């Protein structure tokens, strides 16, 4: 994913500053992992580490690869805030031959059920059979993706350079809601100051669409962090924010622990801002020491339990799994081709 993410377990309970220094490195490691299949071990050498192959900052989403993601790592500690970094989205490779395809799962849907999408072989068939009632592409349009009859596309204004009259007009035309900036607190993603985001925000408001907050990569529940300062500035200026968008990635692969950590984070953010919440990226990925994925069985078990938990939160309006395409290098994607769902994909089909 070029999404950032959410989280993993902070293996070492170091200070928050030390963890934040690792995020850009973790993002770079994910880029290498998803492109080459080689895991990179991150070892910062000083107070301001620079990754060996840091991803280039992207001003706007490019084609099929969504420039999004967050990485928030959560810990079982009392503070529910996640920390971490997310992987970078890359097109899925063709499936290897000889793979056994399990029987199709019964497909269930709900108004809240969504998914992050980028193009791959069979994307339209996969999206249609996923059961998602909404999706997004980290862009104002869904080029190369045909919306299923019962699935809604939600546009996003990804970063500062995405704020143009053309994009805003297209967003208004293409959707009934609008997602704000993608991980403005993370290098290589939207990477914006709070002041810059506040200066541009009235142009997003002017679309008249229900508007989601910028989706931060971490610390949405913490006083003084990026989202907290943005929300305070928006309130002071009388700006409109209709719901909070969040990303979360968990590094504890024990189902019960991961679900509890996710719920704690969401609850803390909701309690702080008293607004509906959209969880627009989530999955299990551990960024605490390189990049570590759970097994398909662990990921599927988490997805099943997490979506059941989310269904019990009256203020959790929507969620979007990261993401629709699957590769052999990760354990988060839902479909390898249009007709071949992974174990995680089958769990998603059965989720509400």
Which has more pLDDT, 188 or 77?
A: 188
Which has more pLDDT, 328 or 239?
A: 239
CA angle 17, 245, 129 (to 5 degrees): 120
- Average pLDDT score over the chain: 80
Whole-number pLDDT of residue 216: 98
| pLDDT value at 301 more than 80 | yes
Which has more pLDDT, 16 or 197?
A: 197
* Beta-strand relationship, 152-153 and 244-250: unpaired
- Cα–Cα distances (Å) from 331 to 69, 94, 121, 133, 258, in that order, read 16, 16, 18, 23, 16
User: Dihedral (C-alpha) 271, 275, 280, 281: value to the nearest 10 degrees?
Assistant: -10
DSSP code string of 235-270: HHHT----BEEEEEEE----HHHHHHHHHHHHHHHH
CA-wise closest residue to 206 among 165, 235, 234: 165
pLDDT digits (tens, 9 = 90+) for 250-300: 999 999 999 999 999 999 999 999 999 999 999 999 988 889 999 999 999
| pLDDT value at 83 more than 70 | no
Whole-number pLDDT of residue 330: 86
Q: CB of 72 within 8 A of CB of 248?
A: yes
What average pLDDT does the segment 2-6 reach?
Answer: 38
44: tokens are 């910062």
- Taking the CB of residue 316, how many other CB atoms lie within 10 A of it? 20
Whole-number pLDDT of residue 26: 45
**CATH fit for domain 110-350, picks 3.20.20.80, 1.10.3720.10, 3.30.450.30, 3.30.420.10:** 3.20.20.80
Distance in Å from the first CA to the final CA of the chain: 23
Q: How confident is the model at residue 129 (pLDDT cuts 50, 70, 90)?
A: very high
235: tokens are 């309130």
E strands, the chain, in order? 4-5, 69-70, 113-116, 134-136, 152-153, 244-250, 277-284, 316-321
pLDDT digits (tens, 9 = 90+) for 13-66: 233 333 333 344 443 444 334 333 433 333 333 333 333 333 333 344 434 445
Q: How confident is the model at residue 103 (pLDDT cuts 50, 70, 90)?
A: low
Angle, helix 343-350 to helix 296-310, in steps of 10 degrees: 20
Which has more pLDDT, 76 or 190?
A: 190
251: tokens are 């590094």
- Residues 167 and 328: their CA atoms lie apart, in Å, by 34
Give the residue extent of every domain in the chain. 110-350
CA-wise closest residue to 240 among 220, 213, 219, 217: 213
Rounded to 5 degrees, what are φ and ψ at 138?
65, 30
Helices and strands counted in the chain (H then E): 8, 8
Does the pTM surpass 0.85? The reply is no
| pLDDT value at 187 more than 50 | yes
Residues linked to residue 153 through DSSP beta bridges, in sequence order: 135
- Residues 9 and 244: their CA atoms lie apart, in Å, by 23
DSSP state of 48: S
Whole-number pLDDT of residue 287: 86
Q: How confident is the model at residue 105 (pLDDT cuts 50, 70, 90)?
A: low
- Cα–Cα distances (Å) from 185 to 16, 24, 109, 197, 243, in that order, read 14, 11, 33, 11, 18
Whole-number pLDDT of residue 266: 99
Whole-number pLDDT of residue 328: 85
Q: How far is CA 317 from the centre of its chain?
A: 16
Q: How confident is the model at residue 175 (pLDDT cuts 50, 70, 90)?
A: very high
| pLDDT value at 206 more than 90 | yes
What average pLDDT does the segment 73-83 reach?
Answer: 36
- Cα–Cα distances (Å) from 172 to 151, 192, 209, 272, 320, in that order, read 17, 23, 7, 29, 21
Which has more pLDDT, 140 or 329?
A: 140
């Amino acid at each position: 994913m070029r999404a950032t993410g959410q989280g993993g377990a902070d293996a070492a309970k170091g200070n928050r500053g030390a963890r934040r220094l690792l995020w850009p490195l973790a993002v770079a490691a994910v880029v290498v992992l998803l492109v080459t299949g080689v895991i990179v071990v991150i070892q910062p050498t000083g107070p301001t580490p620079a990754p060996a192959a840091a991803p280039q900052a992207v001003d706007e989403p490019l084609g099929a690869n969504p420039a999004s993601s967050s990485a928030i790592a959560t810990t079982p500690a009392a503070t529910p805030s996640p920390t971490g970094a997310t992987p970078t989205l890359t097109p899925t490779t063709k499936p290897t031959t000889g793979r056994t395809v399990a029987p199709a799962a019964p497909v269930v849907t709900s108004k809240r059920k969504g998914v992050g999408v980028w193009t791959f072989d069979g994307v339209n068939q996969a999206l249609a059979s996923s059961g998602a009632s909404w999706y997004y592409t980290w862009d104002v349009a869904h080029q190369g993706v045909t919306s299923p009859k019962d699935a809604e596309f939600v546009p996003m204004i990804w970063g500062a350079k995405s704020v143009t009259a053309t994009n805003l007009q297209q967003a208004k035309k293409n959707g009934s809601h609008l997602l704000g900036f993608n991980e403005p607190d993370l290098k290589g993603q939207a990477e914006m100051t709070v002041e810059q985001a506040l200066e541009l925000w009235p142009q997003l408001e002017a679309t008249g669409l229900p508007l989601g907050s910028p989706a931060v990569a971490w610390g949405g529940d913490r006083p003084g962090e990026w989202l907290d300062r943005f929300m305070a500035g928006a309130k002071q200026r009388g700006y409109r924010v209709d719901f909070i968008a969040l990303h979360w990635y968990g590094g504890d692969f024990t189902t019960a622990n991961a679900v509890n950590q996710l719920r704690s984070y969401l609850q803390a953010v909701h309690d702080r801002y008293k607004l509906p919440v959209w969880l627009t990226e989530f999955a299990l990925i551990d960024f605490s020491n390189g990049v570590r994925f759970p097994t398909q069985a662990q990921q599927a078990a988490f997805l099943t339990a997490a979506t059941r938990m989310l269904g019990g939160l009256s203020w959790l309006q929507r969620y979007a799994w990261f993401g629709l395409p699957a590769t052999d290098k990760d354990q988060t994607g839902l479909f390898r081709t249009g007709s071949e769902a992974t174990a995680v994909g089958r769990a998603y089909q059965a989720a509400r």
